Amino acid sequence: MRADTIGMIRALLVGVLVVPFAGCEENVFSYRSDPLFAVDSNLISHVEVAAWPVPVPMPAFLAMRPDGCMIVAGGRMGAILCTNGAVQARFDWPGGAATAVAAAPDGRIFVAAGNRVVVGAGTKSAAIWDSLGEQAQITGIAADSNQVWICDAAQRVVWRFDFDGRLLGQLPLPGTPREMSFVVPSPSFAVAMAPEGGFWVVNPGRFQLQHHALDGQLLAKWSKPGMTVPAFSGCCNPAFVAVLPNGDLVTSEKKIPRVKIYAPDGTFRSVVAPPLALPGDEGRPVAVDRAGRVLVLDGKKIRVFERREGGAR
């Protein structure tokens, strides 16, 4: 058969197959996530006012020091940035790569490195605590004036230590019923100190935030599962949490990346940064400064968000 005849037959077959379907309706079974990323502009309370480069090769974790300086850590390196983003100091530590970072009220830096904690990172007196176990995976850390709370995602436990590395307690307590335990499907397990005392910890698989006293006593908890903007979706959210000077909570989510604000009782306040302002799907580490600005570690820069005039509360 001649080549031109074969080509004509092929063209006719394509036309026969395509034409009947040309006017078909849209596939009603197709998955569209676009609406989940949309945020009403009236819900957005903040505007970006600055972006500072981070002098760390692999920045992954962010914390605030009481003097207003920022601490960034990633890999085996960290940096302290002044309130205007200028680099004050760089530091490293012995041991593994950073998996979380925090600062105590006295400015002492705590770096979680896999299953260990380095105390006083960046100083000659830096000390490495004993391992929490081969199965441990530290993903969150927070410190007050004399104790440290450590989120262990692999063992689903929040450990309580003093500054010398002595174990003081744990959450949940051994024998706690399953329905009272932490559900941690992925390495997203965060904690933050509260300005009025105590601390907040995320129970990610339950889309829940829990407020505990310094001795570990549960004071309050609330959850927001759902697919709407005021809720938390996915397998486990929020990924990060910080607490504003007025006690409100700043949360950062993954998969549908967004930064939001809630009242301590769980009432949704507003959106700081919507998904369209945060490309990709990873959760961004967040912190807050003394002025109440929200700091977001986004790749190799810290983005500063300030409440805009007339924005949502």
- SS3 category, 121: coil
- SS3 category, 306: strand
**Position 170 pLDDT exceeds 90:** yes
Q: Quote the pLDDT of residue 196.
A: 84
Query: pLDDT, tens digit, for every residue of 35-84?
Result: 788 999 999 999 999 999 999 999 999 999 989 999 999 999 999 999 99
Query: pLDDT, tens digit, for every residue of 300-309?
Result: 999 999 999 8
Residue 34 or residue 132, greater confidence: 132
Residue 102: Cβ-neighbour burial (10 angstroms; 0-12, 13-18, 19+): buried
Question: H helices of the chain, where?
Answer: 3-18, 34-37
- Tokens matching residue 101: 């970072």
State the virtual CA torsion across 164, 169, 171, 172 in degrees, nearest 10. Answer: 150
pTM: 0.87
- Tokens matching residue 302: 């810290």
Domains located in the chain, CATH noted: 31-307 (2.120.10.30)
Residues 6+ apart with CB under 8 A from 265: 220, 222
Which of 181, 184, 187, 131 is closest to 161 using CA atoms?
131
On whether the CB atoms of residues 150 and 138 are closer than 8 A, the answer is: yes
